[in-house]
Amino acid sequence: MTPKPVEGARQARGAAARLSGRRGEVLAAIWLLAKGYRILGFRLKTRQAEIDLLALKRGVLAVVEVKRRTTLLAALETVSADQRARLRRAAWRLPSPGRASGVRRFASTS
């Protein structure tokens, strides 16, 4: 069966969105590195959620959800309360890396 033009366009949009998201994650990681964070992982899958970036700075573990939007407000609005709760549960179930003090910080970036 030959794919319909609509399906091909949908696949192209999906591929473009994934690429944009990956670029956003790389840019967020670069920004975190410049701020003194050590990147511990990208796209970590847990039972509760997928963590886009996991970073550590001075004993604080940062769980970062990356949303590529035109404004920070637009990015924050796309992270639902349910998603924030899933990310919190996922973060608390992670082993404390290195010198992490047990403090977890949750952030959303655009």
In tens, the pLDDT along 39-68 reads 999 998 888 888 999 999 988 888 888 888
| Stretch (H or E) spanning 50 | strand 50-57
Position 73 confidence tier, pLDDT thresholds 50, 70, 90: confident
For the domain that residue 16 is a member of, what is the CATH number? 3.40.1350.10
Q: Which domain does 45 fall in, by range?
A: 5-109
Q: Return the ∠ at Cα 59 (arms to 54 and 63), rounded to 5°.
A: 20
**How many folded domains does the chain comprise?**
1
6 has a pLDDT exceeding 60? yes
Distances (CA, A) of 105 to 9, 15, 20, 75, 96: 38, 30, 25, 17, 13
DSSP 8-state symbol, 79: S
